[in-house]
Structure 1
Amino acid sequence: MARHKKLDRNALLDAAEILVRERGSHALSLANVAETANVSKGGIQSNFGTRENLINALLERWEGTLQNAVVTISEQAAPSVSELDIQIQASRLAYNQNPDHYKAMMILITQSDELRSRSRDWFRDSLSKVEKNKLTSRNDKLKLLLNEAMIAIHALDLTSLSEQEWKYLLEDLDAKMEN
C-alpha cells in the first residue's frame, strides 16, 4: 500500500492567498484551494477541515508574521523606542517581507464582518499602547492609523506611486509625527 505524501501546510496557505488575490474571498473554498494547489480536496480537508478553519489558519499565519516582526524590531530598537513605534515599524517590516500576503489579508478582511471585528480588536490593542497624555496620544493614534492605512492602500494597489515615493511618504509621516 502506497503512503500518501504529507502536504506542506504553508504551500496550501500560499495557494489560498493566491486564490483570494486573484479571484476574491468569495472564491475561497476547499475545492478551489485544492485546484490552485494541485492537490486533492481531501488533502485540503485533512489539513483544515472547513473554510472557516482555513481562514483562521491564514489569519494565524499573518498574526505570527507580524509578531515575529515585533520581536525583530524590539531586539534592534533602542530602549527609548515606544511600544507603539515598535508596532508601526513591525507592520512595515512584515508588509515589506511579503506584500502579497498582506494583499490577501486586506481582501479577506474587507469582505467579512467577523474578520473586520478581529481587525478592530487588533487596532484596539494597538491603540491601547498609546500613552495617556492627550496631545501625545492624539498624535500617536494618528501615526498608527495613517501607517496602517498607507500599508493597506499600497497592498491593494490603490495608487500608482512608485516604491521610492512610498518610501519617501513613510519617511515624511515619521518626520511629521515626531514634531
Structure 2
Amino acid sequence: MGRPRTIDRDKVLDVAEEIVRREGATALTFDAVAKAAGITKGGLQYCFGSKDDLIAAMVERWFVAFDAEVARNTAADADSLEHVRGYVVASSRIDEATQTKMAGMLVTLLQSPEYLQRVRDWYAAWIGKFGPDSDAERRARTAFLAAEGAFFLRSLGLVEMDQDQWDGVFEDILKLL
C-alpha cells in the first residue's frame, strides 16, 4: 500500500483563483478545481469541506496577503493616518484581475452568515482604528472608505476606469491624508 498523497492547499487555492480569474466566480466548482488541481473531488472535499469553505480560504489568504502589503507600506509605530496611507497605497496596487476575482468571491461569500461575520470583523478592525474626535481621524476614515468604494465600483464593473484614471483616484485619496 502506497503512501497517501498529500494535498498542497496553497496549490489548490492557486488553481481555484486561476479558475475565477479566467472564467469568473460562477465557474468555481469542486469538479473544476479538482480536475485542474489533479486531485479527486473527495480529496478536495476532505481538504476544504465545502465550496463556501474553499472560497473562505481564498478570501482569508487574500486578507493575509493584503494586510502584509499594508504592513510593508506602514511603519511599525504608525498612527491611524499612516496606517490608512499604507492601506490606500496597497489598494492602489491591486490589479484589475485581482479586484474582479476578489469582488466575485466576496459577493459569493457574503451570502453565508458565518463568512459574512469574518468579513465584517475585518472591516470593523479597520474602522475601529479611527476616532471621531479629530479632523485627521475623520479624514483617514474617509480615505479608507473612498479606497474601498473605488475598489468595489471598479471590481463589480459599475464604473469603468483605466489604469491612469485609477492612479489619479488614488492620488486624490492620498491627498486627504
Please indicate, yes or no, whether the TM-score normalized by the shorter chain is above 0.5. yes
Find the aligned partners of 2:132 and 2:141 in 1 and give their Cα distance: 11
Aligned length: 172
> What is the DSSP-based 3-state SS (H/G/I as helix, E as strand, rest coil) of the residue aligned with 2:74?
helix
Is 1:103 equivalent to 2:104 in the alignment? no
What's the CA shift for 1:10?
A: 2.3
Confirm or deny: 8 A CA contact 2:131 2:138 kept in the other structure.
Answer: no
Structure 1 residues 116, 102: CA separation in 2 closer, same or farther (over 3 Å shift)? farther
Select the structure with the greater relative contact order (CA < 8 A; seq sep ≥ 6): 2
What's the CA shift for 1:107?
A: 1.0
Confirm or deny: 8 A CA contact 1:16 1:28 kept in the other structure.
Answer: yes
What's the CA shift for 1:38?
A: 4.2
Find the aligned partners of 1:78 and 1:124 in 2 and give their Cα distance: 21
Moved more, 55-64 or 32-41: 32-41
Is 1:34 equivalent to 2:34 in the alignment? yes
Q: Which residue of the partner structure matches residue 129 of structure 2?
A: 129
Find the aligned partners of 1:64 and 1:123 in 2 and give their Cα distance: 13
TM-score (structure 2 length as normaliser): 0.76
What's the CA shift for 1:167?
A: 0.7
Moved more, 56-65 or 156-165: 156-165
Confirm or deny: 8 A CA contact 1:70 1:86 kept in the other structure.
Answer: yes
Q: Map 1:2-81 to 2 at 5 A.
A: 6-21=6-21, 22-25=23-26, 27-75=27-75
Confirm or deny: 8 A CA contact 1:87 1:126 kept in the other structure.
Answer: no
TM-score (structure 1 length as normaliser): 0.75
Q: Write out per-residue CA displacement over residues 56-105 of structure 1, whole angstroms, 9 at most, x where no aligned residue.
A: 21122111101211221125x89565323233333334x24xx5344222
Provide the alpha-carbon RMSD of the alignment.
2.9
Moved more, 36-45 or 64-73: 36-45
What's the CA shift for 1:155?
A: 3.1
Structure 2 unmatched runs, 5+: none
Structure 1 residues 43, 52: CA separation in 2 closer, same or farther (over 3 Å shift)? same
> What is the DSSP-based 3-state SS (H/G/I as helix, E as strand, rest coil) of the residue aligned with 1:123?
helix
Structure 1 residues 68, 20: CA separation in 2 closer, same or farther (over 3 Å shift)? same
Find the aligned partners of 1:170 and 1:145 in 2 and give their Cα distance: 12
Confirm or deny: 8 A CA contact 2:24 2:104 kept in the other structure.
Answer: no
Find the aligned partners of 1:34 and 1:45 in 2 and give their Cα distance: 9
> What is the DSSP-based 3-state SS (H/G/I as helix, E as strand, rest coil) of the residue aligned with 1:57?
helix
Q: Map 1:78-157 to 2 at 5 A.
A: 82-93=82-93, 95-96=94-95, 99-111=96-108, 112-113=110-111, 114=113, 115-157=115-157
